[in-house]
Amino acid sequence: MRSSNDPKRVLIVEDDADVREALAVFLEGEGHPVVEAAHGAEALTRLHDSAGICLIVLDLWMPVMDGWEFRAAQRKDPELAAVPVVVITADKGARQRAADFGEADWMTKPIDFGRLLELVNEHC
C-alpha cells in the first residue's frame, strides 16, 4: 500500500531506449524520481512492485504488450485503475482510434518536455 511517506515516482513506459533515457534523465534533473519499463507487461510488474507511482507516461506502439492492452489491464485492476496516465505517441491518429481508453492526457511526439513537466508537477 502506498503511504504519504513514499517518494512519489513517475513510471515511464517506452520501448525506445534513447527516448526513455532522455525522459528519465530530464525528469530526474527536475527532481522527480522515475521508474522505467520497456513495454506494457513490464509496466504492470513495476506498478505492483513499486510504491508511490503518481503518473504513468505511456507510449502506445510497443512490443510484447502495447499501450492499449496495458491501459485495458490497468483499468481492470482496482489497485491500479486510479493512477493517472499521459500518453506520448508518435502515432498521430491514435487518439481518434482510442475510443475506449478512459481519461488520459495525450501528447504527440515529438512532445514538449515543458508541458510534460507541468503535468508531472500537477500529479506528483
Partner 1 sequence: MCRNSRSGSVGSGEALVRYGVAVIATAGGLTLRRALSTLWGGELPYLALYPAVLASVWYGGIGPGLTAIGLSAVGAVAFWLGPDHTLVRPDLSQAVGLVAFVVMNLAICLVVEGLGRARSRAEASAAHQEFLARVSTHLGSSLDYEETLRAIAGLAVPFLADWCSVDIVEGNGLVRRLALACADPAKRAIARRAEIYPPDPHGRHPRTHVLRTGQSVLMPEVTDEMLMQMAGDGDRLADLRALAYRSGIVVPLIARGDVLGALTLATSESGRTYGPSDLALAEELGRRAGIAVDNARLYQQAQEANQLKDEFIATVSHELRTPLQSMLGWVKVLRQGKLTSERTIRAFDVMERAGHAQARLIEDMLDISRIATGRLRLERSKVDLGAVVQSALDAARPAADAKKVHLEMALDPRVGFVPGDSVRLQQVAWNLLSNAVKFTPGGGRVEVRLEPDRGSVRLIVRDTGEGIDPEFIPYVFDPFRQGEATSRRRHGGLGLGLAIVRRLVELHGGSVTVRSDGVGHGSEFCVFLPVNSPPESPSAVSEKGAG
Q: Which residues bind partner 1 (CB under 8 A)?
A: 15-16, 18-19, 21-23, 25-26, 29-30, 60-69, 90-93, 108-111, 113
Amino acid at 23: L
> 66 is written with which cell numbers?
502495447
* Residue 26 or 106 with smaller CB distance to partner 1: 26
* Residue 27 or 54 with smaller CB distance to partner 1: 27
DSSP class of residue 113 equals: H
Tell me the residue length of the chain. Answer: 124
* Residue 47 or 67 with smaller CB distance to partner 1: 67
User: CA-to-CA distance for 58 and 71, rounded, in angstroms?
Assistant: 9
**Minimum Å distance from CB 20 to partner 1?**
9
Please return the burial class of 118, using the count of CB atoms within 10 Å of its CB with bins 0-12, 13-18 and 19+: exposed
* Residue 56 or 60 with smaller CB distance to partner 1: 60
Place of cell 521508474: 35
